[in-house]
Each structure stands twice: as C-alpha cells, then as structure tokens.
Amino acid sequence: MFTVKPFKVNVPQTVLDDLQQRLRQTRWPDAPENIGWNYGTDPVFLQNLVKYWQNGYDWRKHEAAINAIPQFTVEIDSMTIHFQHIKSKNPNAKPLLLVHGWPDCFYRFHKVIPLLTDDYHLIIPSIPGFGFSGHVAKTDDGSAKIFATLMNDVLGYKTYFVAGGDVGQGIAKSIANLYPDNVAAIHLSDVGYPNGSEDWSQMSPAEQQFGQFIQGWWYREGAYAMLHATKPQTQAYGLNDSPTGLAAWITEKFNTWRTPDGSIEDHYSKDDLLTNIMIYWVTQTINSSMRTYAVDNPQGLASNNKVNVPTGVAIFPGDAPTPKEWAERRVNLKRFTKMDKGGHFAALEVPELWANELKTFFNSTGGK
C-alpha cells in the first residue's frame, strides 16, 4: 500500500542566509585575461552570475512558482520519491512520464508543462539521488523499476508514454525494455554512444565517423564523467561546500551543451540557471547525483539493450551528431529528426520546439 503525500518546497530562511554568507566569502581563483570559456567556466560570467545571485535573484518567487504545480512524495522501496503530477482536463489525455538528466533536475520541464497538458497527464519525478527524492543513487534499471511502480501501482496508469534525455534516456530505455507491455512509446533526445566495444566492420561509415567523434569528445569534454564514475566523493566536498563552485560546475555544462551560437544568456536566463542550481544546493544532492555515474555500469543493464518499443529520436545541434543508422541500431526507430536549434537540455532551452516534436511523434504512434 502506497501513501501519496502532497509536497511543498519550503527552504528554511537559515539556509538562504547561509548561502548569502558563503557567496560573499567566495575566494576567487586567478584566471588568464580574457580567457572566456576556454579553460572551463568563464570567470567574468560567473562573477556576474554570483553578483546577481546575491543582489537580484529571488528564490522565494521561484519557490512559489514550483509550489504552484501539484507535487507529491511517496515511499517506494524504502525511498522517498518526489514527483510533479499535472492532470489534463482532456478526457482522452494519455499519461506521459518525463525524465530529466544531469546536471539538471525536474525543473528542466517547467516551461513545457503548459504546452503539453492539453494532451497529456504529466508525471515529472526527481530521479533517485536528485532534487527532493532520497539521496540514494540508482542504476538506470533501479530508477526504471521505481518509476514503473510509481506509474502503475501508485498512480494506476497501466499504459503510458516516456520521454527523456541524458540520464533520462537510459532510464526511459530501461523502462521500455523491462515493461514493454506498459510503455506505448518513448521519445529520446539521445540514444547513448559508442563505447569501443562495437564491431566497427558492421558499422556504417556514418556510425564509424560518429564513433570517432565520441572518442574525441571523451578526451575534450569527458573528464567530469570520469570523475563522477570513479571519484565522486572527492569532488563532492568542494561542490557541497561552495555555492560558487557548484555554480561553476553546473553552468559550464549548460554552456557547452547549448545551441552553438551566441552566449549562454542568449539561451538561458540567469533565473533559469540559478533555480536549477538552487535545487541542487538546498537539497544537497550534488554528491548523490554524481554517484549515479559510479553505480551505473552499463554491463547487464536493460538500458544497454536495443529497445523494441516504438521510439522517436530528436537530435539537437548542441548535442552529439548522432546518425540515423546509430539510432536504428539502438532502438525501434519510428521517427528521426535533426532539429535546427537546441541542445542537451532542449525542453528548457527551446521548449516549444521540443514539445511540438514530442507531440508530433506520440500523436503518430497512438497508444497500445
């Protein structure tokens, strides 16, 4: 028997006061002149962001906006799971589970809620180890089993759609493979990447080129993932103690993985960036979120197997240039779209484009 409890975010004022003191006491490192983002987070951008965090950003306003959306907690497998549940007024609406990734959170989807509720009942959980869920990192399969229980046993949805990206794509693939009778279709913004174990003689030229790109990407950009997968505790001491350090670690990814034009603030507002960072700060979940990489060895996971459930894939220009052949190798591909704008966090960066693409695919597949 599951007890669903209404939930409201209510951060103690002492936490906010402590945050302000830590921001004031930031000990800034030196940086080469005009370095920009070349060595990591741009020091000029970060100093401006922290200044706004101190003098302009209003957490209570965003806390109230989050609380205006129906949200709940429930205990599943001895773990607290936080989720938003927005019911559509449409009697023919279908349930849709939206799964975020790292270093974002359930807040990734706040702009698409009004764009989707005419057609879907939305269920937007915090992945275990993230946000207001319990601080226990789970594998793709572990989170998939919890979310399947949430959808089926707690909320009573026997058939539903799933959409996700980043960590969320792995969880979506696990749900589809573990519970194929319950999942009508899934929509992904990535399908995973070559890891070197593939037989390249069986891969198309486009797939081989993609594999070479990913190999180079790991050398250029993959250090964070290696740290998360091997030494997350070491990194966590600094990130959990310094809000400026946490902001640097998170915003660097939002900058690197966005649409490759303009500046980061052409794609995300300071308020969007800081609200996402605040959720990590006030919940102290940066460590447990990073541990997800350490526990998620792909060997033996359902997320590593080809998905037979109908799948739509949208590839955004700020993300890895996945070829159609690779997507066909990984999923039962029914729609493949190369988008003109957007990045890794497309639902937050280009909400209308992301939502329209998702609806186009799910409307074409119907339900089981």
Domain assignment present for 246? yes
Domain assignment present for 259? yes
3-class DSSP state of 84:
strand
Domain assignment present for 31? no
CATH number, position 330: 3.40.50.1820
Active site residue 344: yes
Residues 6+ apart with CB under 8 A from 275: 59, 62, 107
Name the active-site residue from 119, 140, 166, 272.
166
Active site residue 77: no
Based on the structure, what is the number of domains in the chain? 1
Name the active-site residue from 82, 100, 121, 344.
344
Domain assignment present for 98? yes
Residues 6+ apart with CB under 8 A from 220: none
Q: Do residues 211 and 200 lie in contact, with contact meaning Cβ atoms separated by under 8 Å?
A: yes
Domain assignment present for 33? no
Domain assignment present for 32? no
The pTM assigned to this predicted structure is 0.97
Per-residue pLDDT of the chain (368 residues; tens, 9 = 90+): 899 999 999 999 999 999 999 999 999 999 999 999 999 999 999 999 999 999 999 999 999 999 999 999 999 999 999 999 999 999 999 999 999 999 999 999 999 999 999 999 999 999 999 999 999 999 999 999 999 999 999 999 999 999 999 999 999 999 999 999 999 999 999 999 998 888 888 999 999 999 999 999 999 999 999 999 999 999 999 999 999 999 999 999 999 999 999 999 999 999 999 999 999 999 999 999 999 999 987 668 999 999 999 999 999 999 999 999 999 999 999 999 999 999 999 999 999 999 999 999 999 986 44
Residue 47, domain extent? 5-25+38-192+199-365
Domain assignment present for 71? yes
Active site residue 293: yes
Name the active-site residue from 280, 293, 296, 319.
293
Domain assignment present for 288? yes
